[in-house]
A and B are shown apart, each in its own frame.
Chain A
Amino acid sequence: MAKKLMKGNEAIGEAAIAAGAPHYFAYPITPQSEVAEYLCWRIPEVGGVFVQAESEVAVGNMLFGAAATGMRVFTTSSSPGISLMQEAISYMAGAQLPVVLVNIMRGGPGLGGILPAQSDYNQAVKGGGHGDYKTIVLAPASVQEAVDLMILGFDLADKYRNPVMLIGDGMIGQMMESVEFPEKYRDPVSPEGKDWALTGAKGRKARITKSLFLDPEKLEINSIELDRKYKRVEAEEIRFEKYKVSNKNKILIVAYGSMARICQTVIDELEEEGISVGLFRPITLYPFPGQAIHIEAVKANIKTVLVVEMSMGQMIEDVDRYLKGKKPIEFYGRTGGIVPSPNEVKDKIRTILKSKKAESK
């Protein structure tokens, strides 16, 4: 299919259609309202359902109900809106329902601001709602990748019967890039073959979808079942990308999403100055590619691992968890809607290298 120039927000909407998921529940919030603006005319063209709910709490519960029917359903929102959905996300995880949630993050906490941030990392990868559960978390670094990961997200949600969250930031949502969609769009995915879907019990035994298990033995069994599923996700679904990682690197940057793109420029520009830096970019934030980071980080040429985030430092805890103190970890981050410039990150790297030099003297 021909390339199109599209805003990230619009491309995310179109990607859901391509994935056979024309059922959308949402409430507008900056910086992702263009998704709803786009889908309000696009969804009727393909015969799906678009409900603009009265609040994000309602969105969450509409998703719960619609997901239980076995159709592919999704929402898009931004940080405060995603917080309001946490109860339903926990319920859907408990009831093992597939759903795709998009968080185009803005600065927080609270109402915060409307400019790009990555400060919902912990909320996304550590659960967010109550109970022992995980959401699979995908972090695109370009508009094309947002499209590809949306489609993958629906497949993973169905495969594992679990909520999948795509997290971008205001920059991914607002920027336009060239993008290609699959040649062939999926037909709206039907509940056929989903032996758990509530499709009307005529002629078969009734099915039950719930997250309430008052018998502790049964609740524990549910949690053990979920845990087994997460182990499988951790074994099979880790995705990442390495950029200019080599045995000449002095520093290994770990960054995701748009922050990783900025670091790519940092690496290209430092290379011209003769400073070799590599980038490790997690694409799945849960499951986290910690082992793969460990393998790169412990190599003898790496002096320091630098984690760069648009937050006060959240993913750094996961990097730390896997490195177990085997390499020094430094952090650089800006937040509140401020996007670190390549120059700031370069300065941070120069400072690190200078202090390393002083140490070795």
Chain B
Amino acid sequence: MLKQKEVVMAGFGGQGVMTVGQLLAYTAMDEGKQVVWIPSYGPEMRGGTANCTVVVSDVRIGSPIINNPQSACVFNRPSLDKFGPLIRAGGLLLINSSLIDVTSGRDDIEELLVPVNDIAIKLGNPKVANMVMLGAYNGATGIVSFDTLLKMLNVKMGHKKELLDINHRAIAEGRKIGEKFRTKAGTK
């Protein structure tokens, strides 16, 4: 097992990439891991690009800036173009295939296509696309336990109880895809 794991969450402002990054960080912290969550920040406006990096580690974390992350979840095309080439060889790229109709073109990383917007719309709320992605990412990597993840979701979203159920279902849908991918990758 690697001592440190890194993931970049990237998309348009408003797609909830910062939120899922934070939820992952909260969860990992609850499990006793060292964590850093760092956003890109700049003179951005609504609809601009947004990304954050989450580092989870068993030991003290050095640089919060990661040149070549092990994995990335890209929610839109500009994010694929930006982070696709940066992923470390052997790493994992999750692509939102609802909005991105190409892949990275790399053969030294694994790719998982997840139509997160389509799944979210089918569930009844397009805003939970980010949770579908988080479910798929954690299903594929197992960085945190789903029990803790759902527990932290309840804690962090406790003030919006009416939205808890659909967020749970979104994570579950993503999880199925991620775990199926991992099983398949494992049997290769």
Q: Which residues of A approach B to under 8 Å, CB–CB?
A: 3, 5, 30-31, 114-115, 170-171, 174-178, 258, 261-268, 339, 341-343
Contacts and interface: CB of A to CB of B under 8 A. Distances in A.
8 contacts: A5-B29, A30-B41, A114-B42, A176-B25, A176-B38, A178-B35, A342-B63, A342-B67
Given A5-B37, A261-B61, A267-B62, 7 more contacts: A115-B42, A177-B36, A262-B65, A263-B62, A264-B62, A268-B62, A342-B63
Contact of B38 (A30, A114, A171): A171
Pick from B61, B65, B67 the residue with the most CB of A within 10 Å: B65
B67 A175 contact: no
A203 B34 CA distance: 56
Contacts of A263: 62
Given A115-B42, A175-B38, A5 B22 contact: yes
B39 interface: yes
B26 interface: yes
A5 B35 contact: yes
Nearest to B34: A178
A175 B41 contact: no
Interface in B28-81: 29, 34-39, 41-43, 60-65, 67
Given A261-B64, A341-B65, A174 B42 contact: no
Given A5-B29, A268-B62, A175 B43 contact: no
Nearest to B41: A174
B62 A31 contact: no
A281 B22 CA distance: 29
A258 B42 contact: no
B26 A5 contact: yes
B168 to A, nearest CB: 21
Nearest to A175: B38
A268 B26 CA distance: 26
Contacts of A339: 65
Pick from A114, A174, A176 the residue with the most CB of B within 10 Å: A176
A173 to B, nearest CB: 9
Given A5-B22, A341-B67, A343-B67, A176 B36 contact: yes
B62 A265 contact: yes
Give the top 5 A-B pairs by smallest Cβ distance, nearest first.
Answer: A265-B62, A264-B62, A265-B63, A176-B37, A175-B38
A177 B35 contact: yes
Contacts of B62: 261-268, 342
A262 B64 CA distance: 7
Contact of A174 (B38, B61, B67): B38
A341 B39 CA distance: 16
Contacts of B63: 261-262, 264-266, 341-342
A314 to B, nearest CB: 21
Contacts of A174: 38-39, 41
B85 to A, nearest CB: 14
B59 to A, nearest CB: 9
A268 B65 CA distance: 15
A52 to B, nearest CB: 22
Contacts of A178: 29, 34-35
A340 to B, nearest CB: 9
Contacts of B36: 175-177
A34 to B, nearest CB: 10
Nearest to B27: A5
A128 to B, nearest CB: 26
Pick from B29, B38, B61, B63 the residue with the most CB of A within 10 Å: B63
Contacts of A264: 60, 62-63
A163 B141 CA distance: 49
A3 B34 CA distance: 11
Contacts of A170: 41
B43 A114 contact: yes
Pick from B41, B61, B67 the residue with the most CB of A within 10 Å: B41
A30 B35 CA distance: 24
Nearest to B37: A176
Contacts of B22: 5, 176
Interface string B127-148: 0000000000000000000000
Nearest to A260: B62
A92 B68 CA distance: 47
Contact of B25 (A5, A262, A341): A5
A281 to B, nearest CB: 12
Contacts of A30: 41
B38 to A, nearest CB: 4
Contacts of A265: 62-63
B148 to A, nearest CB: 13
Contacts of B67: 341-343
A178 B67 CA distance: 22
A123 B42 CA distance: 25
Contacts of B43: 114
B29 A3 contact: yes
